[in-house]
Amino acid sequence: MSRVKRGTTRNTKRERLLQHTKGFRWQRKSSRRAAKQAVMKAWTYQYRDRRRLKRDKRALWNVQINAGARMQGTTYSTLINGLKRANVELDRKVLADIAEHEPEVFAKVVEAAKK
């Protein structure tokens, strides 16, 4: 079997790894072993937090809708129930934005849910 010299392959793999650690601190940006561990951990958090972000956003929208609903004299649950019965198909993201930036329009939405 012939001998394989690893110089260019090894350097290419190391450079590709270190490109992902740009901006990291201490040896995590320059040492191969520390960089690989840091990248694996960062990618794990990245995967997890893409899902967590969706949960956090929805929770925030619910709080904003509830705050707007209570200013109109109702609660979040009764508002959402009324909207479903009235066949108003506004998602929570849009409802939260309306409640925060356009209270007059949100008041009309609440009236439609109360009927």
pLDDT at 76: 94
pLDDT at 115: 83
pLDDT at 2: 85
pLDDT at 78: 94
How far is Cα 62 from Cα 80, in angstroms, rounded to an integer? 10
Q: Which CA distances in Å does 28 have to 12, 25, 35?
A: 18, 6, 4
Whole-structure pTM over 0.85, yes or no? no
Domains and CATH numbers, the chain: 8-114 (1.10.1900.20)
pLDDT averaged per 10 residues in sequence order, the chain, 115 residues = 84 91 91 93 95 96 95 93 90 94 94 89
pLDDT at 66: 95
